[in-house]
Amino acid sequence: MAQSRGLRSRRALQVALYPMVKTRGLSAQPALHVLRKVADAYATRQANLTNGNYGRPGSTRYTAVAGTAVAFRPYAAQPFDDRCLSWQMDVSTVSIWTTAGRMRGVRFVCAPWQRTLLAARKGETDLVYRDGHFYLYATVDEPSPKPAPPPDTAEGWLGVDLGIVNLAVTTDDDPATLDVRWSAPVVGSRWKTCRVSATGYG
């Protein structure tokens, strides 16, 4: 319907389709998340069309993409805010809104270090279906760790400059090894040597 009626913005989708989405069993916030997800998908597609990622305007691929409605996989990831999905850390459960109403007491498991990070959880949580299992991707607001100081035993420095003709040019403080160039054949040769050695034939 968004494709046929030319509805692209979040506001336009909400005005036209919010009542219909609500009749599918979703409460207010999940319904809004669905409409925002559709709007974001169309915005992403339009950006790809504008940037030429689907060919020039009028080309076969461009026309096919522009004329096809955006569709989502049955198990596509879905974002939830705190009003739609809440965490009960003390009993390791979550409460989540579904098309059949709210499901309570859904247990989750995680590693101890992940549980520590969840104490700083903030914002949306994504429900992701992957390899036959459901996962919760939580946003964590943690300060960036301070860079570790170099060890006292370090001797000298090595600089690496990435390039096109030479994949890498290394320079350290030893004049004998100054400006060592690693071209594609050299890197390929060294990689083959390492691979053969790892398999026990070198």
Question: Domain residue spans in the chain?
Answer: 10-66, 78-140, 159-199
**124: enclosing H helix or E strand:** strand 121-130
Radius of gyration of the CA atoms of the chain, in A: 26
Q: Residue 87: is its pLDDT beyond 90?
A: yes
Report CA-CA distances (Å) from 80 to 77, 125, 126: 10, 5, 6
Cβ partners under 8 Å of residue 1, min gap 6: 7, 16, 17
Q: What is the pLDDT of residue 24?
A: 82
Q: What is the pLDDT of residue 185?
A: 54
Q: What is the pLDDT of residue 183?
A: 52
Q: Residue 89: is its pLDDT beyond 70?
A: yes
pTM above 0.75, yes or no: no
pLDDT, tens digit (0-9, with 9 covering 90-100), for 22-67 = 888 777 888 888 899 999 999 999 999 999 999 999 999 999 999 9
Q: CA 35 to CA 126: how far, in whole Å? A: 16
**Among 169, 14, 136, which residue's Cα sits nearest to residue 2?**
14
Instruction: Report the DSSP pairing between strands 133-140 and 121-130.
Output: antiparallel
Model confidence at 157, pLDDT cuts 50, 70, 90, reads: low
Model confidence at 122, pLDDT cuts 50, 70, 90, reads: confident
pLDDT, tens digit (0-9, with 9 covering 90-100), for 9-30 = 888 888 888 888 888 877 788 8
pLDDT, tens digit (0-9, with 9 covering 90-100), for 136-147 = 999 888 888 787
Around Cβ 87, how many Cβ atoms within 10 Å? 17
Considering only residues 27 and 175, tell me which one the structure prediction assigns the higher pLDDT.
27
Q: What is the pLDDT of residue 10?
A: 86
As given in the structure block, the two tokens for residue 78 are 């879905």
Q: CA 58 to CA 64: how far, in whole Å? A: 9
Model confidence at 104, pLDDT cuts 50, 70, 90, reads: very high
The average confidence (pLDDT) of the chain is 80
